[in-house]
A and B are shown apart, each in its own frame.
Chain A
Amino acid sequence: MEKNGKGFSMPKSSLKSTPSKDDSSQKSKEGRKVQFNNGGSPEERFDYSKSNGKSSSSADKGGRGNTANVKASKSKEKEPLELRLNQELLKNAKCLMDCEAAEIIQGIQDQMTLLSQDATIKLPVSFHKGLQYSQANARYTNTHSVRRVLDTLKKHGVVEGEERHKPLNMFSLILWMQISVIANACPESTEEVFALVPSLKSKKSILQEPLEVALMVIKPLRKVDSTSV
């Protein structure tokens, strides 16, 4: 099937997550354009919303020039569908670090053992997988302190005028997600953070110092694990 072929083909072609209203040739054209632009810098890849992030981040970066405009106009057709999807996610979404998620899911499992008198309630496979995964990746002994420390980074993230281009709640979700990605990755240095979260590079000068301080503070909170690098 064509769709499957696109999904599995080599990096050159587009990797679209939802079927769009556009016809496939337009999609593949846009896909190739995206790839060409992305080849230069990894910044464009960090898309939170599929087309929304692309058009707004390309507007912010500015350096793409006319191709950004072409991309923006092409993605406008897809935008209503994508934007609605992401606004639905945004309304009440709270981004969780893996350690926070592990605590919550573990709590539910404990409750389940109490409720297990009802034999028809079975926990689905994805619950166990989710629990295993979050526990394996829950690297901090004290999740609340980590959350507090990383939230101080939010203050520095909000300084720039970017927020004027995006709706405020979208911006804060993106910031929260960046913080969670940082926490989940347990970075050793600020270089690692900027390599893993390229969208923060634009604020490198502002974030460098607070990030170093934050990483130093959360380092002792890590669970000592003999198998980790």
Chain B
Amino acid sequence: MFFHIVLERNMQLHPRHFGRNLRDNLVSKLMKDVEGTCSGKHGFVVAITGIENVGKGLIRDGTGFVTFPVKYQCVVFRPFKGEILEAVVTMVNKMGFFAEAGPVQIFVSNHLIPDDMEFQSGDMPNYTTSDGSIKIQKDSEVRLKIIGTRVDATEIFCIGTIKDDFLGVINDPTA
């Protein structure tokens, strides 16, 4: 789910960036450092929407770098347990399938796929119901529920299920 939050970060700036464009340099350094990163607390930082406040800079002893505390607003994407998401399938194998929702990867194990769907291998591996009416393959859109999240240093990985009511394929690319 997307959130709009205020974060704070201490930015270190080399004296060569000082001058008229100090603030601009600080902001572009912030963007380079933060956009695209991910943390367990707030998820993926998708975009910075604005700078709220730049505090007074403190010169660090011994190095001459200056540390500025910067408060900025940003849009983050953080998946939660129990959340319902629509994701696009990226890979199917006999253990289950991988899907992507925004910057987050979700894995749905075959144990959490309804029992009437079976794995079919081939050029386009897929999961199909016994009567062939519903198929999950690469680029299918599925609605799934997140049942667990795991956070690495740089990414969030989720486990999902489609075994509950109102979950499953939304859009079949071959239809």
Contact with B along A181-214 (1 / 0, CB 8 A): 1001101000010011111000000000000000
- Contact present for B1 and A133 (CB under 8 Å): no
Q: Nearest 10 CB-CB pairs, A to B?
A: A124-B36, A15-B148, A46-B82, A133-B102, A101-B2, A130-B46, A126-B103, A92-B6, A96-B2, A195-B165
- Contact present for A18 and B40 (CB under 8 Å): yes
Cβ contact of B166, chosen from A16, A92, A192, cutoff 8 A: A192
Nearest opposing residue in chain B for A187, CB measure: B166
Task: List, sorted by A's number, 8 A–B pairs whose CB atoms are closer than 8 Å.
Answer: A10-B111, A48-B82, A91-B5, A96-B3, A126-B36, A126-B77, A129-B103, A192-B165
Give the interface centre of A10, A126, A129 by most chain B CB atoms within 10 Å. A126
**What's the Cα separation between A187 and B143 when bound, in Å?**
12
- Contact present for A127 and B46 (CB under 8 Å): yes
- Contact present for A95 and B3 (CB under 8 Å): yes
Cβ contact of A134, chosen from B2, B3, B111, B147, cutoff 8 A: B2
**What's the Cα separation between A228 and B171 when bound, in Å?**
6
Interface of B is mostly: strand
List residues of A whose CB falls within 8 A of some B CB: 7-8, 10-11, 15-18, 42, 45-48, 50, 85, 88-89, 91-98, 100-101, 104-105, 108, 118, 120-121, 123-127, 129-134, 136-137, 177, 180-181, 184-185, 187, 192, 195-199, 227-229
**What's the Cα separation between A198 and B4 when bound, in Å?**
25
- Contact present for A89 and B41 (CB under 8 Å): yes
- Contact present for B148 and A7 (CB under 8 Å): yes
- Contact present for B1 and A130 (CB under 8 Å): no
- Enumerate chain B residues within 8 angstroms of A48, measured Cβ to Cβ: 80-82
- Contact present for A121 and B31 (CB under 8 Å): yes
- Enumerate chain B residues within 8 angstroms of A46, measured Cβ to Cβ: 81-82
- Enumerate chain A residues within 8 angstroms of B82, measured Cβ to Cβ: 45-48, 198-199
A180 CB, min distance to chain B CBs, angstroms: 6
A17-B148, A124-B35, A229-B171 as given contacts; A133 in contact with B75, CB under 8 Å: no
With A48-B80, A228-B170 given, name 8 new contacts (CB 8 A).
A7-B157, A45-B147, A47-B82, A89-B42, A96-B1, A121-B28, A134-B102, A228-B171
B105 CB, min distance to chain A CBs, angstroms: 10
B104 CB, min distance to chain A CBs, angstroms: 9
**What's the Cα separation between A124 and B31 when bound, in Å?**
10
- Enumerate chain B residues within 8 angstroms of A88, measured Cβ to Cβ: 41-42
- Contact present for A130 and B77 (CB under 8 Å): yes
A7-B150, A11-B111 as given contacts; A17 in contact with B166, CB under 8 Å: no
Cβ contact of A93, chosen from B5, B103, B148, B151, cutoff 8 A: B5
A17-B149, A17-B151, A229-B171 as given contacts; A185 in contact with B164, CB under 8 Å: no
Contact with A along B69-112 (1 / 0, CB 8 A): 00000010110111111100000000000001111000101011
- Enumerate chain B residues within 8 angstroms of A47, measured Cβ to Cβ: 80-82
A124-B36, A134-B2 as given contacts; A96 in contact with B151, CB under 8 Å: no
Nearest opposing residue in chain B for A115, CB measure: B28
A52 CB, min distance to chain B CBs, angstroms: 12
- Enumerate chain A residues within 8 angstroms of B101, measured Cβ to Cβ: 133
Give the interface centre of B109, B150, B157, B165 by most chain A CB atoms within 10 Å. B150
Nearest opposing residue in chain A for B112, CB measure: A11
